[in-house]
Chains A and B, each alone.
Chain A
Amino acid sequence: MADITLIEGVTMALARAMSEDEDVVILGEDVGVNGGVFRATAGLQAKFGAERVLDTPLAEVMIAGMSVGMAAQGIKPVAEAQFCGFSMPMVDQIMCHAGRMRNRTRGRLSCPMVLRFPSGGGIHAPEHHSESPEALFAHMPGIRVVTPSSPARAYGLLLASIRDPDPVIFMEPKRIYRWQKEHVEDDGEELPLDVCYVLREGTDITLVSWGAMIKETLAVAEQLKERGIHAEVIDVATISPLDMDTIAESVAKTGRCVIIQEAPRHCGVASEIAAGLADAGFTVYWPL
């Protein structure tokens, strides 16, 4: 099989999940015939039918609220918000219901849904097409927040997210949707959630990032190598819950850490990681 891009990894995972579980249903704006504005769902309606790849009315609250309802009643919805900015009307349903269904009912009901959306800037798109709201969703109890940074992790982490029995926000770094290609076997093998991925081992400094900024982070590591500095690169991958152990172990080894974040700094994920490092006994300098 030919090498694939990150967005093709998304499509492949969706198709795999739908093939192996008939309760997996995709819904969103333009996800059907059009295959999504970025083509993440291209070909899926033709393959699985209009009842399993549902074009919705143009109503984001509806997409989120109905996903909650479907998920509690035996369907595994994989909903798409067309852009990160359009996930904002969904926040009420995600915060107040998706993350609380299991807790509120002492486990009687649950909410195994995935909300996917293209995230981050850098594609010369207008306002509301360029947000990085990972910290917002990571602050919500009961919600996992996952973001891949390669075709293989897009495939493996999305499969794991769909199979997970709890709600997952799956943020797709649209700037690197088509940045790199790699060989990804469509073998149905998921990658573990809740752990960081060490993309490159090093001894002198730890570089921590996630999503599209992994592209710059890896480039910096390469530049540092030319100067004789061996950087360890960590892809956080699951923003919430955060795998501080992997990060702290790396920093214990290298003695230095820089966190690279596209999102607004205040109350951000980088701040949380810095706090975790301080808690682990490291000295944190500000600004990050």
Chain B
Amino acid sequence: MTHSATSFKVDYYQFIGVDGHPVPGVKVPAVAQDFDRLKKLYELMVKTRIFDKKAIALQRTGKLGTYASCLGHEAAHVAIGAAMREEDCFAPMYREYGAQFYRGVEMRDVLMYWGGDERGNDFKKAKHDFAWCVPIATQCLHAAGAALAFKLKNQPRVAVSVVGDGGSSKGDFLEAINAASAYQLPLVLVIVNNQWAISVPRKSQNSAATLAQKGIAGGLSSIQVDGNDLVACLWAMDEAIEAARSGQGASVIEMITYRLSDHTTADDASRYRPDDEVDAAWEREPMIRLRQYLTHQGIWNESLEQALHETAQAEVQASVDDYLAQVDTQPQPASAMFDYMFDSLPHDLAEQRAQAARFEDEGGQH
């Protein structure tokens, strides 16, 4: 060797420890004192977890096709949503409900989507956000394209996408990093590293010390944060989005968390994952930590917690009732499968649509 061509490091940030106290010796960012914001996000985390539990129950009772739980990811997810402006663009994967609820996507929409009804993707708010995206990591390039569109149109908007630890292995993710670097895009790519890609553990994706360093390879600012520490997630997102909006380029944030649930309701994690690992992960989960922190700060107490659970339960139940009513009383006709294929229906689909409508009129089941 004659000289080092480059060197890099990946910083890890945790501000609120597992005990709910600020980490000793670490300078805590101002957002840790923004109690209005933290309280609001805690409330959203609780509501999201109650929704999550209810959605699984719906699937278990045959009222939902399948469902991808967000249990344990709540801090990471709500931080992503809370750091974005309304006009920014979110390209989710498929379990970031906390981020989407913050942006105005309705619980009923989530249920409709997982119930197989495309109307769940017709958001009433966040109307420019992308829909849920099941082909892994492909959404990263949609966000990169959105970011390029904003840049070309001189709009001060930022695109944000999320990928998992498994998704970080895909070319789409790496090509999004590369594009963000080539075009200096206003883009934030978040790796929500929950340690498991269905049954494949993080270590089987690759032997790199971090996933964040993939961003560094592409020339992006890249860090790791404790994905169970809302303050760290929020601070990192705020910083990355501000940098992107002010023309300083894209970032990669790896949020280290843990998938406390099965991959989806179609999965059984006990087949491949030791119980003691899950038990240990529960010790680090984000909700109790934040609640303790807010309690220590005098912001939260048991009666607020009680009241929150009651209102959240009622809100979730109302959404479920709304979903079930829509499914039962207003199913889409079979012909609706053709109606949104094109701006105006081509002749061949018009013919097929007429056949479907005729079949239905004659009493065929849909």
Q: Closest chain B residue to A68 by CB distance?
A: B142
Among the interface residues A65, A72, A74, which one has the most CB atoms of the partner chain B within 10 A?
A65
Tell whether, in the assembled complex, residue A103 and residue B349 are in contact, meaning their CB atoms are under 8 Å apart.
no
**Interface flag for A108 (CB, 8 Å):** yes
- Mark interface residues in A79-93 (1 if CB within 8 Å of B CB, else 0): 000000000000011
**Interface flag for B264 (CB, 8 Å):** no
* Other-chain contact of B138, A67, A70, A97, A245 (Cβ < 8 Å): A97
Tell whether, in the assembled complex, residue B118 and residue A62 are in contact, meaning their CB atoms are under 8 Å apart.
no
Tell whether, in the assembled complex, residue A65 and residue B123 are in contact, meaning their CB atoms are under 8 Å apart.
no
**Interface flag for A218 (CB, 8 Å):** no
With A72-B146, A105-B122, A106-B119 as contacts: A61 and B131 at CB distance below 8 Å? no
**Interface flag for A96 (CB, 8 Å):** yes
Chain B residues positioned under 8 Å from A109 (CB to CB):
128, 130-131
Tell whether, in the assembled complex, residue B118 and residue A61 are in contact, meaning their CB atoms are under 8 Å apart.
no
Tell whether, in the assembled complex, residue A166 and residue B138 are in contact, meaning their CB atoms are under 8 Å apart.
no
With A65-B175, A75-B149 as contacts: A103 and B341 at CB distance below 8 Å? yes
- Mark interface residues in A97-120 (1 if CB within 8 Å of B CB, else 0): 100001111111110000000000
Tell whether, in the assembled complex, residue A69 and residue B149 are in contact, meaning their CB atoms are under 8 Å apart.
yes
With A106-B119, A106-B340 as contacts: A73 and B176 at CB distance below 8 Å? no
Tell whether, in the assembled complex, residue B179 and residue A75 are in contact, meaning their CB atoms are under 8 Å apart.
no
**Interface flag for B153 (CB, 8 Å):** yes
Tell whether, in the assembled complex, residue A57 and residue B138 are in contact, meaning their CB atoms are under 8 Å apart.
no
Q: Closest chain B residue to A107 by CB distance?
A: B340
Assembled-state Cα–Cα distance A179/B89 (Å)? 46
Tell whether, in the assembled complex, residue B121 and residue A69 are in contact, meaning their CB atoms are under 8 Å apart.
no
Chain B residues positioned under 8 Å from A102 (CB to CB):
340-343
Shortest Cβ distance from residue B130 to the other chain A in the assembled complex, whole angstroms: 7
Q: Closest chain B residue to A60 by CB distance?
A: B175
Assembled-state Cα–Cα distance A37/B122 (Å)? 41
Tell whether, in the assembled complex, residue B138 and residue A62 are in contact, meaning their CB atoms are under 8 Å apart.
no
With A57-B182, A105-B118 as contacts: A92 and B138 at CB distance below 8 Å? yes
Q: Closest chain A residue to B120 by CB distance?
A: A106
Assembled-state Cα–Cα distance A189/B118 (Å)? 37
* Other-chain contact of B341, A61, A105, A108, A142 (Cβ < 8 Å): A142
* Other-chain contact of A72, B118, B130, B144 (Cβ < 8 Å): B130
**Interface flag for B172 (CB, 8 Å):** yes
Shortest Cβ distance from residue B279 to the other chain A in the assembled complex, whole angstroms: 38
Tell whether, in the assembled complex, residue A104 and residue B145 are in contact, meaning their CB atoms are under 8 Å apart.
no
Chain A residues positioned under 8 Å from B169 (CB to CB):
none
Shortest Cβ distance from residue A76 to the other chain B in the assembled complex, whole angstroms: 10
Tell whether, in the assembled complex, residue B343 and residue A70 are in contact, meaning their CB atoms are under 8 Å apart.
no
Among the interface residues A62, A102, A104, A242, which one has the most CB atoms of the partner chain B within 10 A?
A62
Tell whether, in the assembled complex, residue B118 and residue A70 are in contact, meaning their CB atoms are under 8 Å apart.
no
Tell whether, in the assembled complex, residue B172 and residue A65 are in contact, meaning their CB atoms are under 8 Å apart.
yes
Assembled-state Cα–Cα distance A75/B148 (Å)? 9
Assembled-state Cα–Cα distance A166/B342 (Å)? 6
With A68-B145, A106-B118 as contacts: A61 and B343 at CB distance below 8 Å? no
Among the interface residues B121, B127, B142, B176, which one has the most CB atoms of the partner chain A within 10 A?
B142
Shortest Cβ distance from residue B47 to the other chain A in the assembled complex, whole angstroms: 25
- Mark interface residues in B45-56 (1 if CB within 8 Å of A CB, else 0): 000000000000
Q: What is the interface residue range for chain B against chain A? A: 35 or more
Chain B residues positioned under 8 Å from A141 (CB to CB):
341
- Mark interface residues in B73-99 (1 if CB within 8 Å of A CB, else 0): 000000000000000010100000000
**Interface flag for A241 (CB, 8 Å):** yes
**Interface flag for B152 (CB, 8 Å):** yes
Interface of B is mostly: helix
**Interface flag for A233 (CB, 8 Å):** no
- Mark interface residues in A139-155 (1 if CB within 8 Å of B CB, else 0): 00110100000000000
Chain A residues positioned under 8 Å from B145 (CB to CB):
65-73, 75, 77
With A73-B149, A74-B149 as contacts: A107 and B122 at CB distance below 8 Å? yes
Assembled-state Cα–Cα distance A244/B182 (Å)? 46
Tell whether, in the assembled complex, residue B175 and residue A241 are in contact, meaning their CB atoms are under 8 Å apart.
no
**Interface flag for A199 (CB, 8 Å):** no
Shortest Cβ distance from residue A168 to the other chain B in the assembled complex, whole angstroms: 11
Assembled-state Cα–Cα distance A108/B176 (Å)? 24
Shortest Cβ distance from residue B349 to the other chain A in the assembled complex, whole angstroms: 7
- Mark interface residues in B161-175 (1 if CB within 8 Å of A CB, else 0): 000000000011001
**Interface flag for B178 (CB, 8 Å):** yes
Q: Closest chain A residue to B124 by CB distance?
A: A108
Assembled-state Cα–Cα distance A70/B183 (Å)? 14
Assembled-state Cα–Cα distance A126/B120 (Å)? 47
Assembled-state Cα–Cα distance A8/B63 (Å)? 57
Q: Closest chain B residue to A108 by CB distance?
A: B122
Chain B 104-130 interface residues, beta-carbon cutoff 8 Å to A? 118-119, 121-123, 127-128, 130
**Interface flag for A59 (CB, 8 Å):** yes
**Interface flag for B12 (CB, 8 Å):** no
Shortest Cβ distance from residue A178 to the other chain B in the assembled complex, whole angstroms: 32
Assembled-state Cα–Cα distance A141/B343 (Å)? 13
Tell whether, in the assembled complex, residue B118 and residue A65 are in contact, meaning their CB atoms are under 8 Å apart.
no
Chain B residues positioned under 8 Å from A166 (CB to CB):
342-343
Tell whether, in the assembled complex, residue B146 and residue A69 are in contact, meaning their CB atoms are under 8 Å apart.
yes
Tell whether, in the assembled complex, residue A62 and residue B135 are in contact, meaning their CB atoms are under 8 Å apart.
no
Tell whether, in the assembled complex, residue B178 and residue A93 are in contact, meaning their CB atoms are under 8 Å apart.
no
Assembled-state Cα–Cα distance A92/B68 (Å)? 22
Chain B 316-366 interface residues, beta-carbon cutoff 8 Å to A? 340-343, 346-349
Q: Closest chain A residue to B337 by CB distance?
A: A103
**Interface flag for A216 (CB, 8 Å):** no
Tell whether, in the assembled complex, residue B150 and residue A108 are in contact, meaning their CB atoms are under 8 Å apart.
no
Assembled-state Cα–Cα distance A67/B179 (Å)? 12
What are 11 A-B residue pairs whose CB atoms fall within 8 Å in the complex? A57-B179, A61-B141, A64-B141, A65-B142, A67-B145, A75-B149, A97-B138, A104-B118, A106-B122, A141-B341, A244-B348
